[in-house]
Amino acid sequence: MSNMPSKTLLRVDDITMAFGGIVAVANLSLTVETGEILALIGPNGAGKTTTFHVIAGVHKPTAGRIFFDGQDITFYRPDGRCRSGVARTFQITQPFQELTVEENVMVGSLAQHRSIADARKDARRYVEMVGLSDRANVLAKGLSTGQRKRLEMARAMATRPKLLLLDEVTGGVDQKSIPGLIELVKQLRREGLTLVIIEHNMRVINELADRAIFMNRGQKMAEGTPEDVMQRPEVVELYLGEELQHG
Amino acid sequence: MFEPLRPWQWLLVAITLAALAALPLLSSNSYVLHVLILSMIFGIFASAWNLVTGFAGLKTFGHHAFFGIGAYSSALVALHSGLSPWLTIWIAALIATVAGLFIGLPILRIRSMPHVAIVTLGFAEIVRITISNLQSITRGELGLWGIPPFESFTLPVLGEMKFTPADKAGYYYLILVLLVFSTGLITLLMRSKSGLALVAMRDAEDAAESLGVNLTRHKLLVFGVSAFLVGLAGAFFGHYIGILTPSAAVGPDLMILVIAMALVGGLGTLSGPLVGALVLTCVVELLRDLNDLRLLIYGAIIITVVMFLPKGLATLGPLVRRRITYLRAPTTSPAKHL
Ligand SMILES: Nc1ncnc2c1ncn2[C@@H]1O[C@H](COP(=O)(O)OP(=O)(O)OP(=O)(O)O)[C@@H](O)[C@H]1O
Ligand SMILES: [Mg+2]
C-alpha cells in the first residue's frame, strides 16, 4: 500500500455507544485506508467488539457518524451495510447449526447470485479458500472452534466485501493452526481487501497489521505502527503487563 | 433440503399421490373419507404453522386466528353476497393474509421469542372473542349455519363431483388439490433462496442479517404465506362442516392439536406436519369412543413419540437408513481436525 494513493474507506466520526449507564465506546474516531490492515487492541471490556457492532450496524450509536466508501451509513441496518460492502465475523461464532458448511457460505453468496445453484458453485470457492472442502457437507454444529472461525470468514468473504472486520479469529484456536489463519488473512489482503482485526495475540498483530489502535475503557489511548503502540508506557501498563503476568 | 430431489424421492411422491387419488374409487366409505379430509385440512394447517415456527424460527401460537378468519370470512361472504364458495375461499385466504401481515408487523420488532408467543396467542384470543361477541353477524356460540356448499361439477373420468354430506368424494378431491398446492408452495419457497435465508435467520438471526438477509422482508413473507394457507384451510373447513362456532374454528385447543401434529411429525421438515396430521387425526378418531381415557392415551402417544423420536416421525426413515449403512460399514473415517 506504500505506493498506492491512500484513500479513506471507513471513517468513524466521534462515536459514543452507551447502554443505559454503561458507556462502552466514548468519543471514538478512526479511519481505515483502502488496502490496509488495522489492528484494534486493548484489554477485555475495552469496547472493541462494541465498535465492530456499531460499524456493522448491530447497534445505532448514541452519538456520532459512520462514513463508508463516501456514504453516510450511520442509519443503515446490518443487511444494508453488508450490501454496501461491510462484512464481519463474530467473536462468539454464530454458525447456522442445521445447515451444512457449504450452505452456511451460500447464505453469504445469495445476494450475489440469482439461483441457488449459482450460489452453491460460488460458495464452494470460499469453502475451499478457507480449507474446509473436506467438511463442506457436514452440518455446521459438528465443527471445531477453529473450523467455525474459518467458516465465519468464508461466509463473510462470500458477500464480496470491501471491508472485513475480524473479531478475534485466533481466539480459542490451538497454536498449531494460527500460522494457517495468518496466511489466510494475508491472502485476503493480497486480493485487495481492507481489514480491521481485533486481536490479543501479539505475534499475529506484528505479522499482519500495518497500524494499530489501542483502546481502553471505550476510548482510543494510542495509535501508530504496531511496534510503536506496543512500546507506549500506557499500553504496557494497562495491557501488555497484564498479558505478560497471565502468560 | 436444498439439494435437488433424487429419483426415489420423486417416485415416493408420485406413488403417494396416485394412492391418494385412487382411494375414493376403491372405497366409498364416507367415514374413511371424512377422516382423510380432516387429516388433509390439518395437514395444510400444520405445514403452514411449521413454515413460520419450524423453518423460520418465529414461535407463534396464534395461527388458529387465521383458521377462524378464513372460515368465517368465506362463510359470511358466500352467505351474504351470494358469491360461489369456489371464489370466496380465495377471498378468505387473502383476508387472512392481510391479518397475517397486520400481526406480523409488530412481531418483527420483538426479538424475544416468549414475547412473540404471548403476543400471537393474545391476538388469536381477541379474534375469537370478537367473533363470539359479534352475534348479529356471526351468531356467536349458537353457531353460524346454512353455509353454502361448493357447487357440483362434472369431471371426464371421475364423473360428477358432488359436495354433499353423503357423497364426500368431491370434498376429498378438492382438499387433496389444495394440499398439493400448499405443499408445493411451501416446498418451492423452502428450496428457493428465501428458504435458505429463512433457515439461516432461525439458526442465527444476527449472523444472517450481517450477511445481507433482510429480516423484515423474510418475516413478513413467511407470515403472509402461512396465514394465506391456514386461511384457505379454514375456509374449506367451513364449507365442508357447514356450521361454525368460535370454539371449533378459533379455539386454542385447535392450535394445541396442530402444534402436537407438527411436533409428532417433525418440526422443521417438509413431510413431518403431513405425517403428524394424518397420525393424530386418526388417533383422535379411533379413540373417540373411549371418552375420558381418550385424552390420556392421546397424551401418552405424543409423549412417547417426542421422547423416543425428538425430531418426529419424519426422521424415522433417515434414522433407520443410517443404522443400516452403519451396520454395513462400521468403520467411519475419523473426523479430521483443523
Ligand atoms: N448490549 C450490551 N448491553 C450492555 N452492556 C454492553 C453491551 N455490549 C457490551 N457491553 C459492555 O460494554 C463494554 C465493552 O464490551 P466489548 O464487548 O465491546 O469489549 P471488548 O473490547 O470486545 O472485550 P473482549 O476483549 O473481552 O472481547 C463491556 O463492559 C460490556 O459489558
Ligand atoms: Mg470482544
> What ipTM did this prediction achieve?
0.90
Residue A93 Cα to ligand 2 midpoint, Å, equals 12
Which whole number is the average pLDDT over B263-289? 89
Find where cell 451495510 sits.
Answer: A81
Q: Is A121 on the interface with B (CB under 8 A)?
A: no
Residue A44 Cα to ligand 2 midpoint, Å, equals 7
Instruction: Please report, for chain B, how many H helices and E strands are present, in that order.
Output: 15, 4
Domain annotation covers residue B146: yes
Q: Is B244 helix (H, G, I), strand (E, B) or coil?
A: strand
Q: Is A163 on the interface with B (CB under 8 A)?
A: no
Confidence band (pLDDT; 50, 70, 90) for B6?
Answer: confident
Q: Is B56 on the interface with A (CB under 8 A)?
A: no
Q: Give all strands of the β-sheet with A22-33 in edge-to-edge order.
A: A22-33, A8-19, A63-68, A71-72
Q: Is the CB of A47 inside a 6 Å radius of any atom of ligand 1?
A: yes
Residue A51 Cα to ligand 1 midpoint, Å, equals 9
Cβ(A156)–Cβ(A126) under 8 Å?
A: no
Q: What is the pLDDT of residue A234?
A: 85
Q: What is the pLDDT of residue B327?
A: 59
Residue B274 Cα to ligand 2 midpoint, Å, equals 45
- Domain with B19, as residue range(s), is 13-251
- Domain count along chain B: 1
Q: What is the pLDDT of residue B326?
A: 61
Which residues, other chains included, contact B137 with Cβ-Cβ below 8 Å and sequence gap of 6+?
B76
Confidence band (pLDDT; 50, 70, 90) for B335?
Answer: very low
Tell me the fold of A1-85+162-173+192-247.
Rossmann fold (3.40.50)
Nearest to B223 by CA among B56, B54, B42: B56
pLDDT at B324 over 70: no
Which helix (H) or strand (E) element contains residue A198? strand A194-198
Domain annotation covers residue B331: no
Could B192 and A83 be called an inter-chain contact, meaning their C-beta atoms sit closer than 8 Å?
no
Q: Which atom of ligand 1 is nearest to the CA of A48?
A: 21
Q: Is B81 on the interface with A (CB under 8 A)?
A: no
- List chain B residues with CB under 8 Å of A98: 199, 202-203, 268
Q: What is the pLDDT of residue A242?
A: 58
Distance from CA of A5 to the nearest CA of B (A): 30
Domain annotation covers residue B218: yes
Question: Which candidate in A116, A121, A148 is best for mutational testing of the B interface (most B CBs within 10 A)?
Answer: A116
Which ligand has an atom closest to residue A90 CA? Answer: 2
3-state DSSP helix/strand/coil % of chain A, to nearest 5: 40, 25, 30
Nearest to A64 by CA among A32, A8, A18: A18
The protein residue whose alpha carbon is closest to atom 10 in ligand 1 is: A24
Q: What is the pTM of this model?
A: 0.89
Q: Is B111 on the interface with A (CB under 8 A)?
A: no
CA dihedral A185, A189, A193, A197 (to 10 degrees): 40
Q: What is the pLDDT of residue A1?
A: 41
Show the low-confidence residues of chain A (pLDDT under 50): 1-3, 245-247
Instruction: Sort A106 into a burial class: Cβ within 10 Å, 0-12 / 13-18 / 19+.
Output: buried
- Interval B146-193: pLDDT, tens: 888 888 777 777 677 778 777 788 899 999 999 999 999 999 999 999
Domain annotation covers residue B135: yes
Q: Which residues lie across from B84 on neighbouring strands?
A: none
* Residue B38 Ramachandran class (φ > 0 left, ψ -120 to 50 alpha, else beta): alpha
- Tell me how far apart the alpha carbons of residues B201 and B223 are, in angstroms, rounded to a whole number: 14
Nearest to B64 by CA among B100, B31, B88, B101: B100
Q: Is A111 on the interface with B (CB under 8 A)?
A: yes
DSSP letters spanning B253-318: HHHHHHHHHHHHH-TT-SSHHHHHHHHHHHHHHHTGGGTHHHHHHHHHHHHHHHHH-TT-GGGHHH
Q: What is the pLDDT of residue B288?
A: 80
- Interval B282-295: pLDDT, tens: 988 888 877 777 77
Q: What is the pLDDT of residue B212?
A: 95
Q: Is the CB of A48 inside a 6 Å radius of any atom of ligand 1?
A: yes
- Tell me how far apart the alpha carbons of residues B246 and A179 are, in angstroms, rounded to a whole number: 66
Q: Give all strands of the β-sheet with A211-216 in edge-to-edge order.
A: A86-88, A163-167, A194-198, A37-41, A211-216, A219-224
Q: What is the pLDDT of residue A46?
A: 93
Nearest to A68 by CA among A88, A49, A48: A88
- Interval B293-321: pLDDT, tens: 777 887 888 888 878 887 888 777 766 66
Q: What is the pLDDT of residue B336?
A: 36
Domain with CATH 3.40.50.300 in chain A: 1-85+162-173+192-247
DSSP letters spanning B176-188: HHHHHHHHHHHHH
Residue B6: count of CB within 10 angstroms of its CB = 9
**Of the candidate ranges A163-172, A233-242, B217-226, B234-243, the one whose mean pLDDT is the lowest:** A233-242
Residue B82 Cα to ligand 2 midpoint, Å, equals 65
Q: Is A108 on the interface with B (CB under 8 A)?
A: yes
Q: Is the CB of A28 inside a 6 Å radius of any atom of ligand 1?
A: no
As a three-state string, the secondary structure of A129-157 is HCCCHHHCCCEHHHCCHHHHHHHHHHHHH
Q: Between A94, A107, A142, which is nearest B213 by CB? A: A107
**Of the candidate ranges A99-103, A210-214, B57-61, B223-227, the one whose mean pLDDT is the lowest:** B57-61
Could B212 and A110 be called an inter-chain contact, meaning their C-beta atoms sit closer than 8 Å?
yes
Could A107 and B211 be called an inter-chain contact, meaning their C-beta atoms sit closer than 8 Å?
yes
Which ligand has an atom closest to residue A25 CA? Answer: 1
Residue B35: count of CB within 10 angstroms of its CB = 17
Which residues, other chains included, contact B12 with Cβ-Cβ below 8 Å and sequence gap of 6+?
none
Q: Which atom of ligand 1 is nearest to the CA of A59?
A: 1
pLDDT at B98 over 70: yes
Domain annotation covers residue B58: yes
Q: What is the pLDDT of residue B321?
A: 67
Which residues, other chains included, contact B189 with Cβ-Cβ below 8 Å and sequence gap of 6+?
B51, B195, B225
Termini Cα distance of chain A:
34
Q: Which atom of ligand 1 is nearest to the CA of A20?
A: 4
Instruction: Give the nearest chain A residue to B190 (CA atoms).
Output: A116
- Tell me how far apart the alpha carbons of residues B93 and B239 are, in angstroms, rounded to a whole number: 14
Rounded to a whole number, what is the largest CA-CA distance in chain A?
55
Q: Look up residue A135 and give its three cell numbers.
A: 467438511
- B334 or A146, higher pLDDT: A146
Distance from CA of A120 to the nearest CA of B (A): 10
- Tell me how far apart the alpha carbons of residues A68 and A111 are, in angstroms, rounded to a whole number: 19
Q: Is B203 on the interface with A (CB under 8 A)?
A: yes
Which residues, other chains included, contact B142 with Cβ-Cβ below 8 Å and sequence gap of 6+?
B135, B245
